[in-house]
């Protein structure tokens, strides 16, 4: 291992409270880890993989020239970064962001999200979702523009802000209700395996907005709309729909419909 590896490892370690904390969480002997930091010993392939997985970097990245490595991990010099001791969740999120695959950028753009409503059982909810990349971090916004069944019923807008991650061939979306701050939902999607991005299917976990606030899980489909569109027109098309509505493609409705087979205990994604 060359000196750049030592400096890169030191940079990552300095992001934590102490070397002892890193060793404890890695499960590596402190004196042995100090040898890696000083260049007196090189980690085995297995240990190197353990170190890289912990810090959320690739094996080839940690051996890059130090200047290039600093740009990749987007870390500030020790002492000038975020206060991860007082707010350790920042370090956890930072690891996930750095571990998330860069090709999630291929998923930037607008989508119609289809799922059976958790608040209005039996009705299909169509929402507008936008995934955006900024400085290596993928975020998204989801807007529910609810009301279509009764034309006289006023529309109710709900906005959700969240982060997107691509981890081990799955896409994770985690968001919160930015208007009320009292709800968090998570969606797990299969990535796109086709040449052209069309639809993503998965499962969504959240709560109903009724008085009981029941935890619920539902199938979900994201239908790609591209990177440019009229947001106003797209939002007008959002709302609640009866099953069988001509507004909802039969293939989409079939994908999000779930009838529990006898003897099963879990929801499963419909990938057909």
Give me the residue spans of the domains in the chain.
3-99, 103-256
Tokens 């130090």, residue? 66
Looking at the domain that runs over 3-99, which CATH code has it been given?
Answer: 1.10.260
**Predicted local confidence at residue 153, as pLDDT:** 66
3-class state of residue 107 by DSSP: helix
Query: Residue 222, Cα to own-chain centre: how many angstroms?
Result: 14
Q: Looking at beta carbons, which pairs linking 52-56 to residues 24 or more positions away fall under 8 Å?
A: 54/22, 54/25, 54/26, 55/12, 55/95, 55/98, 56/94, 56/95, 56/96, 56/97, 56/98, 56/99
Domains 3-99 and 103-256 share a fold: no
CA gap 268, 128 in Å, rounded: 24
Which stretch of DSSP H or E encloses residue 9? helix 3-13
CB 256 within 8 A of CB 115: yes
What pLDDT sits at residue 147?
64
Q: Quick one: which of 78, 80, 64 has its CA closest to 4? A: 64
Per-residue pLDDT of the chain (272 residues), as tens digits, is: 568 899 999 988 887 878 888 898 888 999 999 999 988 999 998 899 888 888 878 888 888 888 888 877 764 444 444 445 556 667 777 778 777 877 788 899 999 999 999 888 889 999 999 999 876 688 999 998 776 556 666 667 788 999 999 988 899 999 998 877 788 999 999 998 887 889 999 999 988 876 778 888 999 999 999 999 999 899 989 999 999 999 999 999 999 998 777 776 667 777 66
The predicted structure's pLDDT at residue 1: 56
CATH of domain 103-256: 2.40.128.120
What's the pLDDT at 151? Answer: 64
Q: Note the pLDDT of residue 80.
A: 41
For position 36, what pLDDT does the model report?
92
pLDDT value of position 266: 63
């Amino acid at each position: 291992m060359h000196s750049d590896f030592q400096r890169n490892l030191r940079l990552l370690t300095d992001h934590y409270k102490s070397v002892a904390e890193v060793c404890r969480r890695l499960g590596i002997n402190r004196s042995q880890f100090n040898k890696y930091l000083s260049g007196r010993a090189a980690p085995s392939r297995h240990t190197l993989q353990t170190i890289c997985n912990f810090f959320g970097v690739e094996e080839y990245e940690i051996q890059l020239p130090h200047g290039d490595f600093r740009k990749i991990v987007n870390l500030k010099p020790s002492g000038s970064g975020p206060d991860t001791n007082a707010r350790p969740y920042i370090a956890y999120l930072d690891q996930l962001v750095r571990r998330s695959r860069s090709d999630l950028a291929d998923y930037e753009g607008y989508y119609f999200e289809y799922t059976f409503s958790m608040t209005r059982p039996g009705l299909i909810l169509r929402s507008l979702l936008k995934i955006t990349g900024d400085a290596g971090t993928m975020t998204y916004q989801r807007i529910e523009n609810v009301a279509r069944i009764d034309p006289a019923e006023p529309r109710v807008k709900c906005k959700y802000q969240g982060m997107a991650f691509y981890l081990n061939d799955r896409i994770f979306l985690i968001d919160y209700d930015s208007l009320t701050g009292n709800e968090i939902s998570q969606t797990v999607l299969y990535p796109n395996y086709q040449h052209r991005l069309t639809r993503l299917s998965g499962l969504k976990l959240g709560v109903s907005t009724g008085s009981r606030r029941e935890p619920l899980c539902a199938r979900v489909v994201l239908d790609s709309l591209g990177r440019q569109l009229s947001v106003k027109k797209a939002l007008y098309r959002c709302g609640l729909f009866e099953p069988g509505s001509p507004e909802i493609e039969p293939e989409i409705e079939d994908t999000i419909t779930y009838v529990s087979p006898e003897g099963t205990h879990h929801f499963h994604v419909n990938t057909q």
